[in-house]
Structure 1
Amino acid sequence: MDTKAPIVENVFGISWLSFNLSNVLMITLVSVIILIICIAATRKLQMKPTGAQNVMEWYVDFIKGLIGDTMDWKTGKTFLPLGLTLFLFILISNVIGMVTVVVVDDYSWWGSPTADAGVTLALAFMIVLLSHFYGLKLRGGKEYGKKFFEPVFFMFPFKVIEEFTNTLTLGLRLFGNMFAGGMLTALIIGIGAKSIGGAVLASVPMLIWSGYSLFIAGIQAFIFTMLTMLYISHKVEASH
């Protein structure tokens, strides 16, 4: 069955402004899931961590290590909350679309937010803006501005183009992987839906693909977070 996204157009009377209600729903749901996970893991903190607290402390150490690989920890500790939130948001967003499919009146209401280019590019644009903000804040306007004209003055337009390409590659890499994964999953499900024999035939590749999709979801969350910290480090550290 062909489905379409629930798009609201002409938002606030602006002809070119529209948004996807499915993305709004899924982003809200992912945010709630993250909140529940964090509250559950830190509700009863103990000196000797066990269970969920142990997993959360391992996760914090993992992100601290990732940040430490890209910049000095004295500077990087500022971005620990960003790294923790970003990785978990992307990971859950990647995985949540694998759970089920909800279709109402031919509109698809369930899917990975990261399988939409608008979401991933907006996320990438936010990261690039944050990198400039912290670059200005931590290095000062004069010192930060000089880097766009080094080693010679006419490098400025190339530095601007570089920022644009960083935004595109950061957002489109995540979108491309998750969109392609969703398309292949839908194809396998479509084969299984045609007949009982097709369901049996599709079950094995579906199982294998689900495991591989989980791996890709984690890798993409890692790559996006790592590149985020790398871009920020280039802006906030004078050595770059």
Structure 2
Amino acid sequence: MEKPEILKLFGLTFNVSNILGGTLVALIVFGMCFWLARKVELRPGKKQNVLEYIIDFTDGIVKSNVEDEDAQKHLSLYAFVLFLFIWWLNQLGLFLEVKDMSGLMLLKSPTADPTITMTMAMMTLLLSYNFGVQKFGTFGYLKNYARPLPFFLPINVMEEFTNFLTLSLRLYGNIYAGEVLLTLIGNDFAHSFGIGTIILSAPLTIIWQGFSVFIGSIQAYVFVTLSMVYIGKKVTQE
């Protein structure tokens, strides 16, 4: 993969491609929701139906994995925004990659970077801790790590690290692998044997992009589902 554009400012290091990609996707999600919900009516039109379908879809994920009704109310909007945000993050690099004059990457899928997926995974885990403490209190929540028996304590603590890694690296691995293969098809394979491989690489790229859209959608669903599973476990005492 191409190296990203790095900006150093005030002693801090910024990944320009992640910043631009995340900002662009945030604007896309906002614009999409604003456009779909601009004229809400009792008798919904096509745009409103699309929005309501997505909301019902993400609500279904929440209700299927979180038993606490109070937590469900607070998580509905989070799941909705999280799904749309990750879906667009996953798709961005499939159709839009921008490089500067030196060949450094300015814009790509931010979820092809492990720091982004780890940040979102940590956000979900911190939210789950917050719900757990609100539900049981600080000491009551900490006691849950020793359930159902005290010797489960190290296993339950280790599970926090494995949840973080599996939630973040699964998303990163799938999106990164998809973009690597697109790069190999478009650059290495297309120019390997002249005009013949250039012609052949075009349908291969289209096919893989279509498959990657499917994979990106599945990974957005899996990330949101696992997030709700982890949060649901924190507000349910076994």
Matched, 1:142 2:161: no
Aligned partner of 1:192 in structure 2 is: 190
Letter of the aligned partner of 1:72 in structure 2? E
1:36 is aligned, of 18, 21, 31, to 31
Cα distance between partner residues in 2 of 1:50 and 1:154: 56
CA deviation after TM superposition for structure 1 residue 73, in Å: 6.4
Cα distance between partner residues in 2 of 1:91 and 1:151: 37
Matched, 1:209 2:204: no
- Which TM-score applies when normalising by structure 1? 0.92
Aligned partner of 2:104 in structure 1 is: 107
- The 3-state SS of whatever aligns with 1:69 is helix
Mean alpha-carbon deviation: is it higher for 205-214 or for 83-92?
Answer: 205-214
CA deviation after TM superposition for structure 1 residue 27, in Å: 0.3
Cα distance between partner residues in 2 of 1:122 and 1:54: 32
Aligned partner of 2:47 in structure 1 is: 52
Residues 97-118 of structure 1 show CA distances to partners (whole Å, capped at 9, x for unaligned) of 1113211122111210000001
- The 3-state SS of whatever aligns with 1:87 is helix
C-alpha contact (below 8 Å) 1:3/1:103 kept by paired residues: no
Aligned partner of 2:226 in structure 1 is: 227
Letter of the aligned partner of 1:29 in structure 2? L
C-alpha contact (below 8 Å) 1:101/1:110 kept by paired residues: yes
Cα distance between partner residues in 1 of 2:208 and 2:2: 23
Matched, 1:82 2:81: no
- Which TM-score applies when normalising by structure 2? 0.93
Cα distance between partner residues in 1 of 2:36 and 2:113: 30
Provide structure 2 residue ranges, at least 5 long, that are not aligned to the other structure: none
Cα distance between partner residues in 1 of 2:202 and 2:36: 35
C-alpha contact (below 8 Å) 2:25/2:89 kept by paired residues: yes
Cα distance between partner residues in 1 of 2:191 and 2:45: 43
- How many positions carry a matched residue from both structures? 234
Cα distance between partner residues in 2 of 1:205 and 1:48: 43
Aligned partner of 1:27 in structure 2 is: 22
Percent identity (aligned):
38
**CA RMSD, Structure 1 to Structure 2 (Å):** 1.6
Mean alpha-carbon deviation: is it higher for 138-147 or for 164-173?
Answer: 138-147
C-alpha contact (below 8 Å) 1:95/1:217 kept by paired residues: yes
Larger RCO, structure (CA 8 Å, separation 6 or more): 2
Closer, same or farther in 2 for the Cα pair 1:3/1:224, shift >3 Å? Answer: closer
Mean alpha-carbon deviation: is it higher for 171-180 or for 45-54?
Answer: 45-54
Cα distance between partner residues in 1 of 2:144 and 2:106: 45
CA deviation after TM superposition for structure 1 residue 157, in Å: 2.8
C-alpha contact (below 8 Å) 1:67/1:73 kept by paired residues: no
C-alpha contact (below 8 Å) 1:120/1:174 kept by paired residues: yes
Cα distance between partner residues in 1 of 2:68 and 2:221: 19
Letter of the aligned partner of 1:95 in structure 2? Q
C-alpha contact (below 8 Å) 1:127/1:228 kept by paired residues: yes
Cα distance between partner residues in 1 of 2:47 and 2:217: 19
